[in-house]
Amino acid sequence: MRALVTGASGFVGSAVARALLAAGHEVRVVVRKTSALSNIADLSVERVEGDLLEPASLCGIMAGCDALFHVAADYRLWVPDREAMFRANVEGTRALMEEALTAGVKRVVYTSSVATLGSVPGGVADEQTPVRYSDMIGPYKQSKFRAEEEVHRLIRLGLPAVIVNPSTPVGPRDIKPTPTGRLVRDAARGHIPAYVDTGLNIVHVDDVAQGHLLAYAHGRIGERYILGGDNLTLAAILTLIADIAGRRPPSLRLSRHWLWPVALASQAYARARKSATPLVTWDELRMASKYMFFDSAKARAELGYHPRPAEEALADAVAWFLATGRAPGKPADVV
C-alpha cells in the first residue's frame, strides 16, 4: 500500500507515518514550506508540499496513493485568529476529502478528536453519547466538530472514510509541544504546584498510531472509533509524572472560582503581546469543569485495539522530554 499522511511532521502524524513504515507500507507525507522536519528527518518517505490553508496546493498530491491518513490539524486551545483555525480544520479538510474522492483512494482514515464527542457528568462517554455544536467549547472543538460533519457529508457522497477520535495522546516527539505535552513537560520540571478537579483519558501516541492502521484494515466506512486509554483524574496524572520524574506531586487543589480572573488577565496579556500563550484560558477552565472520560470498547471489539497502561505512556513522554533537554531546569521557550 502507498499511503499519504498529512501532519506527519507533527506529534500524532509522525507516529502514524512510523507505524505505516514499520508495517512495510510506502509513505508519502505532506509538509508545508514552514514545517519543522525533525520528526521525519530519519524516515524514508516521499515528501510533497501542501497546505490546508491553500486548497489549490492539495491538487494531485494523492496521485498513485491507495490510502489517505488525514492527521493534520491546527490544535491549539488558545488562538487569537479563530478564522484561520476554521480555514485549516474545516475548509482544508473539505478540500482534502474532495481531492481524495477525485483521486479515487480506496480508504480514508480521518483523525478527528474526542473533543467532538459528548460528555457524561460523573460517567464515561462513547461514540453514541449525544452532543450538539452548542456543546463545543472554544474554536478548536468547534472547528473539529464542523470538520467531522464535512467528512460525514462526503461519506454520503461516496468517500470511503473511517473516523478515529483519539483522546489525550502523550509520548515521544511532541516537539511543539501540544497542550497536554506542555502539562507533562511542566509537571516533570516541578512547575505545576497545584491542580483543579478534572480528569482526562490518557493514551500512548504510538497506540493511537496503531489504532489508525487498525481502522484502515478493519474499520467500517462511516463509523467513528475512540482511540483512548485510561481515565485518570488530573491529580493522579500529576502524581504519576512526579513519581516518574523523581519530584514531589502537587498537593494544593485549586477552586476554579479563583482562576477566572487569572484567565482573563492572562488572555489580555497574550493579546497585547500577540505571540504569547496565556498561562490559563477561559475555555480551558470551562473544559476542566467536566471529567473528559471516554470508553474505547468499540475500537477494542471491532478493530482489535489494545492500548498500553497510562503509566507507560506517561513514562515514555517524560523520558523523551528529559532526554531532549526540554524538562530539566528553568522553563524553556515552547518550540
- Non-local CB neighbours of 26 within 8 Å, separated by 6+ positions: 1, 2, 3, 46
The average pLDDT across 232-242 equals 97
Query: What confidence score (pLDDT) does residue 326 get?
Result: 80
Nearest to 18 by CA among 209, 240, 266, 271: 209
User: Does residue 329 register a pLDDT over 60?
Assistant: no
Altogether, the residues listed in the chain come to a count of 335
Task: Measure the CA dihedral 162/165/170/175, to 10°.
Answer: 70
pLDDT digits (tens, 9 = 90+) for 145-158: 999 999 999 999 99
Pairing label, strands 224-227, 26-31: unpaired
User: Does residue 335 register a pLDDT over 90?
Assistant: no
pLDDT digits (tens, 9 = 90+) for 168-209: 999 999 998 998 999 999 999 999 999 999 999 999 999 999
The residue ranking higher by pLDDT, 311 or 80, is: 311
Q: Is the dihedral of CA 143, 147, 153, 157 positive or negative?
A: positive
User: Does residue 334 register a pLDDT over 60?
Assistant: no
140: annotated active-site residue: yes
Is this prediction's pTM over 0.75?
Answer: yes
| Separation between Cα atoms, residue 35 and residue 6, nearest integer Å | 12
User: Does residue 224 register a pLDDT over 70?
Assistant: yes
Query: What confidence score (pLDDT) does residue 257 get?
Result: 77
The residue ranking higher by pLDDT, 3 or 80, is: 3
* SS3 labels along 109-142: EEECCHHHCCCCCCCCECCCCCCCHHHCCHHHHH
Sheet holding 224-227, edge to edge: 46-49, 26-31, 2-6, 67-70, 107-111, 161-166, 224-227
Query: What confidence score (pLDDT) does residue 275 get?
Result: 65
pLDDT-derived band at 328 (thresholds 50, 70, 90) equals: low
The average pLDDT across 89-98 equals 98
The average pLDDT across 20-27 equals 98
Tell me which amino acid residue 92 is. G
Query: What confidence score (pLDDT) does residue 268 get?
Result: 82
Query: What confidence score (pLDDT) does residue 140 get?
Result: 94
The average pLDDT across 86-107 equals 97
pLDDT-derived band at 290 (thresholds 50, 70, 90) equals: confident
pLDDT-derived band at 246 (thresholds 50, 70, 90) equals: very high
Query: What confidence score (pLDDT) does residue 122 get?
Result: 87
User: Does residue 332 register a pLDDT over 50?
Assistant: no
Q: CATH number of the domain at 2-170+203-228, please?
A: 3.40.50.720
Catalytic residue among 140, 216, 225, 291, which? 140
User: Does residue 80 register a pLDDT over 90?
Assistant: no
Angle at 132 between CA 130 and CA 138, to 5 degrees: 125
Alpha helices in 164-281 (DSSP H): 179-189, 205-218, 234-245, 260-273
Q: Is the dihedral of CA 335, 310, 89, 28 positive or negative?
A: positive
| Separation between Cα atoms, residue 139 and residue 43, nearest integer Å | 33
The average pLDDT across 222-230 equals 98
CA distances from 279 to 136, 139, 176 (A): 22, 18, 16
